[in-house]
Amino acid sequence: MSAFIVSPAVAAALEEGRPVVALESTIISHGLPRPRNYQAALEFEQILTDVGVTPATIAVLDGVPRIGLDAHGVRRIAEEHLTKASVRDIPILAAAGASGATTVAATAHLAALAGVRVFATGGLGGIHRGASTSFDESADISTLAVTPVTVVCAGVKSVLDIEATLERLETLSVPVVGYRSKVFPSFWLRESAFTLDWTVDTAAEIARIMKSHDELGHGQGIVVANPIPADQQWDPTEHDRVLAEALALADEVGVTGKAVTPFLLLKIVELSGGRSLEVNLNLARNNVRLAGEIATAWAEVDRA
C-alpha cells in the first residue's frame, strides 16, 4: 500500500506528460478567513484548469497524504480546523490517522514524491526576525535545499527577515530568480531593499533552467520571485504602519514558533480593514497563473 495517494486526475496528467501545478493547503486553512478561503481554493484550481493545467492541491486527510483533492477534500481544508503540518509532522499524522494542512515545506516534499515539479504559493517562509537568538527558521528553506521543486512566490512575507532569508538560500545553493524584476519582492509590496543576481522574462526560460538544473545533478528547489503587479500592491505607507502594529501585538501576546505567521497575517487583515487580504489574494492568483505557464513550458521541455 502506498504511503500517499495521488488523485486520478493528477496521476493521469503525470503519466501523459501534461502540466501539473501543486497548491498548498495551509494558505487556505490558516492564511485566509472563512468563507473567503473556500472561494479562493476553488478559484486557484479553476485558474489552472482554464489553461489546461491540472491542479494538485495537497493535504493530509485522515492520515493519508493526498496529492490532488476531490471537491469534498477541498471543502474540508477550508472548513475544518486542521493542524498546520510541516514535513516533520507528516509521518505523525499518518500514524495517528489525523488530518493536517500542508505548509510550503510539506507541500513541496509531497509534490516531489509524486513527481510534480512546479508549485505555486503566496509567500515563502524564511528566517524570522530575531532568529539570531530564537533560531526561528522556517522549514521551507531547509526543505527546498533538498527538494527539486520550482516554487513560484511573491518573495517572503515582510514580517520576516528578508536579508537573512536570502543569505540562507544562497548558503544552501537554492537558486533565486526574479520574474521580470531584479529586485526581490516582499509579498504585499513589489520591492524590498534587496536586488537579485538573476532575472528571467519568460516561463520558457525558467523551464530551461529546471532542465539544466536536473542535467547537472542539482537536487535543490528553485525559487521564482514574482512581484505583484504595481497597480495591485498595498500602499507602502499603510503597509509599514500596520506591520509595525501587528509585530507589536505579537510580542505583547507572546506568540512564538509556527503560530507567528498565521497570527500576524490575520491581525494584519484586521488592522488593515481587509485591504491586505485583497492584496494577498491578488498576488496568489498572479503566482498561480505564472506557475501554470511554467508547468506548461516544463511539460514541453521535459518531452523534448
Annotated binding site for Mn(2+): 136
Q: What pLDDT is attached to residue 131?
A: 61
What interhelical angle do 260-271 and 236-253 show, nearest 10? 130
A 10 A CB-CB count for 63 gives 16
CATH number at residue 167: 3.40.1790.10
Number of domains in the chain: 1
Q: Which of 45, 157, 258, 267 is catalytic?
A: 157
CA nearest to 257, candidates 163, 137, 161: 137
- pLDDT value, residue 133: 65
Which are the contacts of 143, defined by CB distance < 8 A and separation ≥ 6?
A: 87, 104, 105, 106, 108, 109, 221
Q: Supply the pLDDT for residue 183.
A: 96
**pLDDT of the residue at 24:** 96
- Which regions in the chain score pLDDT beneath 70? 1, 129-135, 257-258, 304
Q: Residue 203 has what pLDDT? A: 98
Which segments are annotated as binding site? 84, 104, 136, 138-140
The 8 Å CB, 24+ separation contacts for 231-234 are: 232/279, 232/282, 232/283, 232/286, 233/188, 233/189, 233/190, 233/279, 234/188, 234/189, 234/272, 234/275, 234/276, 234/279
Is residue 170 annotated as part of the catalytic site, yes or no?
no
3-state helix, strand, coil in the chain (%, to 5): 50, 15, 30
pLDDT on residue 267: 86
Give the C-alpha separation, 179 to 82, whole Å: 33
Burial class, 253, CB count within 10 angstroms (exposed 0-12 / middle 13-18 / buried 19+)? exposed
Q: How far is CA 96 from CA 24, 73, 86, in A?
A: 21, 19, 15
Active site residue 258: no
- Strands 100-102, 83-85: pairing is parallel
List, as residue ranges, the binding site for substrate: 84, 104, 138-140
Q: From CA 155, how far away is CA 163, in angstroms rounded? A: 11
pLDDT computed for residue 8 by the predictor: 97
- Pick the catalytic residue: 24, 45, 137, 293? 24
For 122, the domain range is 5-303
